[in-house]
Amino acid sequence: MVEIWRRGAATLAVVLMVGGCGAAADLVESEPTTEPSPTETSPTEPSPTEPSPTEPSPTPTQPVAAEPKVGECRRTNPFLSALGGSLEVRKPVPCRDTHNAQTYFVGLMNEAMQAAARRGNANGLRAEVAGICGRKLSEWLGGSGEDVALSVFDYIVGAPGPDEVGADARWFSCDAYAIRAMNGLKLIALPPDTRGILNSRQADDWTQCNRGGFGSGTSNIVVCTRGHAYRAVAGVHLDSLDAKYPGSNNLDSRLESECSGRVRAYLNTSGSFNYGFTWPSRQQWNTGDRWGICYAQTSS
């Protein structure tokens, strides 16, 4: 008998996930940090000279966010990361210190991207850069698109503030992060460098797994180094980035057929087995997710 667990499309806040990698010792929770408050001026310091009443006061200028650099490490907010990006760019920290995100690509925004950034529309900007950030993430991690889809890695998009976007500030950044557990949106503390990690001996440590109960959504997804009942074993690329959402019923039928064969091949069995599958919600689809994931039951 073949038993199917279906997981319908859920909301973006709960669903977003893709791969990750690193040593097993690195698989610890990384909590976000708050930005340090500005240092108060010492009372012994002289106050700045007041401008003469006859002189015009200087016009204040809006500070421009510093452009991130590839390889920089950060401690990002896991909730905002799982939502696909808040456009927030936190200050870098030394990569030898605890961190949960790493910048792997910085590019220049076109007009459509700038328009989304000026509105502070994180999902809109993510949709515009999905092809670039997705391709660059695969190149950075050292795996195929399917390898990344089966992992616990995803990316967050950063950009200058809405009032800063202009000729001198039109960059966008893609930062990799990895999910330790979807329940509570816990992230993994990354190793000093994630480059090539899906092409390393530790790659299997960063595969996504499921504790079971697909019908309740994706809160049961964990990195495979934690206890689980199902393992992600195959990814089905569903369509091009410009394709319209085909609907849950269409995706359900397609994946029921495709995942059955792929899981059977993975298990190398002609007997009975249990499997499950997930597909993108409409919101996920609109921000660039085109992968269906097939899971095989690996334990009772």
Give tens-digit pLDDT for 67-105.
Answer: 999 999 999 886 665 555 567 788 999 999 999 999 999
Where residue 132 falls among pLDDT bands split at 50, 70, 90? very high
E strands, the chain, in order: 2-6, 73-74, 101-108, 153-158, 171-181, 186-187, 208-210, 221-223, 230-237, 273-278, 291-297
In the chain, domain spans: 2-26+66-297
Give the global pTM. Answer: 0.77
Between CA 170 and CA 90 the distance in angstroms is: 17
Mean pLDDT rounded to a whole number for the chain? 79
Give the per-residue pLDDT at 218. Answer: 59
Give CA 226 to chain center in angstroms.
20
| Residues 148 and 138: beta-carbon distance below 8 Å | yes
Give tens-digit pLDDT for 143-193.
Answer: 999 999 999 999 999 999 999 999 899 999 999 999 888 766 788 999 999
